[in-house]
Amino acid sequence: MAKKTVKKKATPGFGKFIKWFWILFATGILSGTLLFWLASLGVFGEMPTFERLENPQTNLATEIISSDGKTLGKFYLDDNRTPVAYEDLPENLVNALVATEDERYYEHSGIDWYGTMRAFAFLGKRGGASTITQQLAKQLFTGIAARGWKRYTQKVKEWVIATRLERNYTKEEIIAMYLNIYDFGNNADGIRSASKIYFGKEPQELRVEESAMLVGMLKNSSLYNPRPHRNPVGTKRKRDIAIGQMARSGFITEQERDSLQALEMNLNYSPESHREGLATYFRMYVQGFMNEWIEKNPKPALEGERDKWNIYLDGLKIYTTVDSRMQKNAEDAVTAHMKNLQAEFFHQNTPDRNKTAPFLDLEQNQINSIMRRAMKNSDRWRSMKRAGKSDDEIEASFKVKTDMTVFDWNSDSQEKDTIMTPMDSIR
C-alpha cells in the first residue's frame, strides 16, 4: 500500500518581513515630512515670519546708568530684562547649560534625533528630547505648553522653528538669546537680572556653583526657587545635578564636582524694583524728563514697530551725571541721621511729654479731623468703597488689628512686618 504524502505548509518567506519593514519605515518618513510641511504652512497655528525670526520681539527694561558706569535702577513693566552678549557670559555658565540641557548641542541643527528616539523608546525616563534651540523657540513663539493632542502639534511647530533659528543664528547667539529671555522668578528676567538679584554680581563674575544653580532653575524657576521660604533644598539638588552633569561631560573633574557639591548656596539676594536701590527720587525725576523727551523725539520706527519710544519696553540706556559712590554715601548718611531723629521723636512723644502724640498742641476735634481725612484718602477706604461697603463698615475695619508691613528706619530693608490696626498705622 502506497504511503500517503502530506504536503507541508509553506512558511512565509523572510522577504515578506523585509517588505513590511520598508513599508512602515517609508510611511514613518513620509508622515514626518508631511507633518513638518503642514506645520511650516501654518496648518497647526501661525508661524513666525522671516522678519520676526530675524528680529524677535522681547520687552527690555530701560537702564539708568551713573557717571561711574553702575546701574542706578531700571524702568520696566512686567519684564526686568537687560540683554547680555555671548562674549559677556562666563564659560562655566555656558558649559553648565550645555551639559545639563543639551549635551549634543554643537552637533545637531535644532533637533536632537538621538534624544528624540530615546525619549520615545523609554517614555522620557532617560531624559527628554527638547534641545536648547527648541526651548528658545517655545519661549519666543509658542508660549506655554498646550495639553492633550495640541501639545504634539505644538511640538512639531517648535521643531520647525528650531531648524529655522539654527539657519538664522549662530550657536553662540542662540545660547545668549535663551539665557536672556528666560524668567528666573523674583522679578529676574534674563541672566543679567538673575545674576544681580540672586548673587549681587554681573554674569561674567559668576562662580561655577552659582552658574550651576541658575541652570538648575531652568527646569522650573517657580518650583526651584533658592530663597529660604521657597525651595532651597530642591534648588540645591538641581544645582548639584547640573554640577554632576558638568563632570560627566568633562567640563570639570570628579574632585571639583565633589568639592562644589559640598558647598552651600551663598545667596546675596538683592531684589530690584522701582522703589528700591539708589537715587529713587532722582529716578522719578528722570522718568518725568524722559516722558517729555519722548514727545519731542520721535522714534525712527521700522514697519510693524511702535512709532514712539517706550521707556518700559525698548531697553534704552540713560546716562546720568550722578556718581553712584557719592550717592550711596549720601543716602547712608541720611539713613544714619534719620535713625537718630526717629529715636528722638519717640522720646519726645512719650505720654508724659505729649498726651496727644504724635500731634502737638492740637485740640481733639482737630486731631479727629486729620485722622478722618487721612482715613478717607487711603487705598483701603477706596477699595472697600468700590466693593460696596458702607462708611460705618469701613470705619469699623480701621479699628481691627491686621498683618501689615510698615516703614522702619532701623531695619536694613527699612520695612518690618507687624500687627496693628490701620488707624494706628495712620497715626
In a domain, 384, yes or no: yes
In a domain, 357, yes or no: yes
Q: How many domains does the chain have?
A: 1
pLDDT at position 49, please?
57
pLDDT at position 144, please?
62
Under 8 Å between Cβ of 384 and 393: yes
In a domain, 61, yes or no: no
Closest CA to 243 of 368, 70, 144, 97: 97
pLDDT at position 411, please?
73
In a domain, 276, yes or no: no
How far apart, in whole angstroms, are the C-alpha atoms of residue 239 and residue 205?
Answer: 18
How far apart, in whole angstroms, are the C-alpha atoms of residue 317 and residue 333?
Answer: 29
**For every one of its 427 residues, what pLDDT tens digit does the chain have, with 9 covering 90 and above?**
555 555 555 455 566 767 666 666 566 666 556 555 555 555 555 666 555 566 566 788 899 999 999 889 888 887 888 889 999 999 999 999 999 998 889 988 878 776 666 655 555 555 556 889 988 888 887 666 555 555 556 677 777 888 888 888 999 999 999 999 899 988 888 999 999 999 989 999 999 999 999 999 998 988 999 998 889 999 999 999 999 999 999 999 999 999 999 999 999 888 877 777 789 899 999 999 999 998 888 877 654 566 788 888 888 999 999 999 999 999 999 988 988 888 888 887 777 776 777 777 788 888 889 999 999 999 889 999 999 999 999 999 999 998 888 877 777 667 788 899 998 888 8
Grid-cell match 574632585, residue found: 255
pLDDT at position 198, please?
94
In a domain, 333, yes or no: no
CA end-to-end distance (rounded Å), the chain: 125
In a domain, 376, yes or no: yes
In a domain, 377, yes or no: yes
Fill in the amino acid letter for 55.
Answer: N
The strand ranges marked E within 205-340 are: 317-319
Parent domain of 369: 352-426
In a domain, 391, yes or no: yes
